[in-house]
Amino acid sequence: MSRLGLVRPRSLFYAEPVRTFGVEEELLLVDADSGSIKACVDEVLGGLAGQRDPAGIRLVSELQREQLEVITPVHSDLGELAEDIVAGRALADALAVGAGARAAALATPVLPFVPHLSAVPRVGAMEERFGLTAREQLTCACHVHVGVESGDEGVAVLDRIRSWLPVLSALSANSPFWQGRDTGYASYRIQSLGRWPMAGPAGIYGSLGAYRRRLQALLDTEVPLDEAMLYLDARLSRSYPTVEIRVADVCLYPDDAVLIAALSRALVETAARQWRAAVPPADVPTAVLRLANWRASRSGIGGDLLHPLSGVPRPAGEVLDALMAHLAPALADNGDGPQVEALLKQVMHRGTGAEFQRRTLEQTGTLAGVVKGALAATHRQA
């Protein structure tokens, strides 16, 4: 992530410094009329003519030529981050229009598709090693980077946020369709991502040294090409002093991306405080976390979720209440509490992106209508 390091300026309103954060959103490139994906990322990026947006927003290519990643600058203020999420989507869309396409915040394509791998050597090596898994993989996520003070703090955070991450997956669910069919899942992206052998939750590490040894053991298998292919639910950034939370679908609505970012920052801050207070991480088995991921993928916030501490099914509303109670002190100290409460009430009232897509199909009767509705929601300003 561009310039995404730990800069924790002291707030004018709060005694404690506020952690910085930034967001990476992967967007689909689609034909506005047919709704089909369009392999035009090279043309889109060519429209930048080597220039960076004045706000510092970056656009980069991804695995497939039908997708584009938008990277915000580092922020400490939630409102400024929200502005850049909207601005980044607008920039991507304007450039996509120049290439005869649009940029949509859809975590999987709605219509039947055949993706085209990016023509770079590393992607070619991925195809050679992983075959159809690489060729068929076309999903779009939202990754949140949150600053940490050290690798030791970062690993302590990873150990203490792991059981809460499926709740973020449920809130962000935005991929009910795959190959033109309703999958029955709120987030089919999670199911598709699970085809990679390196994806999913991790066990408790206990220390920075143990974290490094665990990752090296994975690399020593020679299954992943490199550390970038360790698609863990959360990990330390390879390039910046951040924890990278990777569980969310790209959110259909900009407001929901803001919500996921704010919750991610509060999770990191809460975990760091627990570590400093010598509160041990919840010893939830990794196998249970995999089931929690599946439950979040299946129903989003429309059914039961596994409670992050007990591991038993509870109504989604009850689990979200537990999350907010867990994060309340950090949200208050960050100055994000009222806005996060309002954003959470909003998504609970109108539903996730997955619910929007299904409603739109009922209303329009066509998958192309779903994409058109999604485009309007993608670029809706708060």
- What are 304-326's pLDDT values in tens digits? 999 999 999 999 999 999 999 99
Q: Please check whether residue 240 is in contact with residue 215, taking contact to mean a CB–CB distance below 8 angstroms.
A: no
Position 53 scores a pLDDT of: 55
Give Dmax over CA atoms of the chain in angstroms.
56
Whole-Å CA distances, 89 to 134, 169, 170, 206, 278? 26, 21, 22, 38, 41
- What is d(CA 117, CA 115) in angstroms, rounded to the nearest whole number? 7
For tokens 């040294």, what's the residue? 209
Q: Please check whether residue 351 is in contact with residue 282, taking contact to mean a CB–CB distance below 8 angstroms.
A: no
Pairing of strands 181-182, 242-249: unpaired
Answer whether residue 130 shows pLDDT above 90. yes
Q: Record the pTM.
A: 0.93
* 30, amino acid identity: V
275 in helix, strand or coil? helix
Give DSSP secondary structure letters for 207-249.
Answer: SHHHHHHHHHHHHHTT-SSSGGG--BSEEE-SSSSEEEEEEEE
pLDDT 10s digits, 62-81: 999 999 999 999 999 999 99
Position 54 scores a pLDDT of: 55
What's the pLDDT band for 56 if we cut at 50, 70, 90? confident
- What is d(CA 19, CA 331) in angstroms, rounded to the nearest whole number? 11
Q: What is the mean pLDDT of residues 252-267?
A: 98
Q: What is the mean pLDDT of residues 349-372?
A: 97
Position 17 scores a pLDDT of: 80
Answer whether residue 5 shows pLDDT above 60. no
Q: At what angle do helices 286-299 and 165-172 cross, to 10 degrees?
A: 10
Q: Which residues pair with 61 in a beta bridge?
A: 68
Which class in CATH covers the domain with range 21-378?
A: alpha beta
Position 242 scores a pLDDT of: 97
Whole-Å CA distances, 355 to 10, 179, 246, 298? 40, 18, 22, 12
Position 239 scores a pLDDT of: 85
Q: Please check whether residue 313 is in contact with residue 306, taking contact to mean a CB–CB distance below 8 angstroms.
A: yes
Q: Please check whether residue 292 is in contact with residue 166, taking contact to mean a CB–CB distance below 8 angstroms.
A: yes
Q: Which residues pair with 141 in a beta bridge?
A: 249
How many residues belong to the chain? 382
Answer whether residue 111 shows pLDDT above 50. yes
Answer whether residue 123 shows pLDDT above 90. yes
Whole-Å CA distances, 65 to 42, 110, 138? 7, 16, 10
